[in-house]
Chains A and B, each alone.
Chain A
Amino acid sequence: MPVQVITGNHAAGYALSVAGEANRTARGVACGIYPITPQTEIVEYVAKFPFSKGRVVPVESEHSAIAVSMGASMSGARAFTASSANGLAYMAENFMVAGYYRLPIVMVAVNRTLGPPWNIWADQGDTLMLRDFAWLQFYCEDNQEVLDTTLLAFRLAEDQRILLPVLTCMDAFIVSHTQTETALPEQTDVDRFLPDLDLPHRMHYDEARTLGGLAWPHEGLSMRLEIDEAMKRVPDVYQECRESFTDIFGRDPGDVIQRFGTDDADLVIVASGTMATTAREVVRRRREAGEKIGLVKLKMFRPFPDVALREACQSATRVAVLDRNYAAGAGGIFWQDTRAAFQGHRDDVLIQNYLTGLCGGDVTPAVIDEILADLTARAEAGDPVWMGIETGRETLQ
């Protein structure tokens, strides 16, 4: 398949477009879009794409962008959109509605710091803010993974056993605006990979129905449980989709977690996004020097792959969880879910949180080395460690 030097945004726009085009044999594509740095090139791409059936609707805000996508999805069209940071925040009101309606929408998010203060650089806090709302979430480390995962997302979302929307994420600028060689699949192969969308609860002109109307407590409870059951089916369905993808495109899109050197690792780094790329290089170097160290890259964050994570850390005694995000009053978000996954199963493991790369900081190999030095020297796990800044001083006089 042709390889081009393109940005992560270009890769995402391409994936969304060819996926939408693949539904031309059914209800086609329709969606709402709105730009925000650093995602703008994605919506520019899809806005220019010559869809055979359906159209992209530029609207006046993110709130409307997802609303239009939801309406499109409800009527059976393949729908997608893209956003970032405060744009996602503006979408928030409709975001969980898409999840609770079980609409198979795919959104590409470029992880950017939520302001204030005003900051356009990489931080995962924006998509993590929305982690509770019945969307699947995937964190990608490079262009190819963004493209592949986005295509995979449609297959996964639209599977009748899942029927939940999917978020694919990439770090602002580091992936979104960096040009690297990326393989672009042909439309014909995408057509094979993505069957026509057949939404069981789609709206029909001649069939009156209500979606999401008033529900009594027990009905609401059932609907929440229904979502949980769908979430629980994701790991298995993911594997099926992954096999099909590998088969058709000749490339493995990757497992929900990706292990490097973890089989015999004593120290394990848990990371996501481009931090995982950097951590992998450090791990590779140290393993060559004989250290028993491994990397777990968390690709899927929702549903949280606790079983796979515990499996990967079987031999670990110490785990460093890297978070390019911060939940005020609690700490890193990947760390919280990691601790919860180990609780009661592996209480012997020392799990330490490292907050690094927040607000766009550059996570270099030197930082990883510092983290490993701290992890090694610890007697016990403590509060999240803030990398790259002094802590402990009073801020208010």
Chain B
Amino acid sequence: MNLEPGSPFAANRAFVYHGAMMYSINRMAFAWMCVTLLAWAASASAADEQATGGRVPTVTRLVKMFTEQETALASAIRAGDPSAVERLLTDDFEMRMGAMPANPVPRSEWLSEMMRTRKPGDDVSGMAVHDLNGAAIVSFVQGRGQTAIFVVDVWRAATNDWKLAIRYAAPAGSAAFATPGAGATTPPVIPKKY
């Protein structure tokens, strides 16, 4: 420790007895501990967000499994790892959006855009999975409010894995939006937990 005149710690010379000096050292040790704790808290918080990767409670086995698949895809996009993303896509993957249903976004363009932005979308919620023997229809909402997107992913069973074949995406809209088949007959939802 530098206690020479002019050094940041020169004031310590003013202490005339050992107890005062130890008081100063205790303060420094405490400050060091606080800095360490703050650094730990920041890293732990970041790790927490990364590890959980979403806000979807696991419900059915398939919901849990495809939550992990979607999380793996999102993580690969965030990491800017095209190989990892491609391993999760079929060769003929495409995305279709509600605003231009007859003009799909081809695999290469979708991948290029994802690698450029590294933004896979907001948190996933409300997932449902329909198992159609070899294809799984996975629906969910990304984000909340007016910018929420309703996504339907079609995953195809591969040899030992599942690969994303088609993504349909459109603004989630609102329940008040007139959709044929949905309306006044929809029963009220009883609050419940899975």
Chain A complexes with chain B:
no
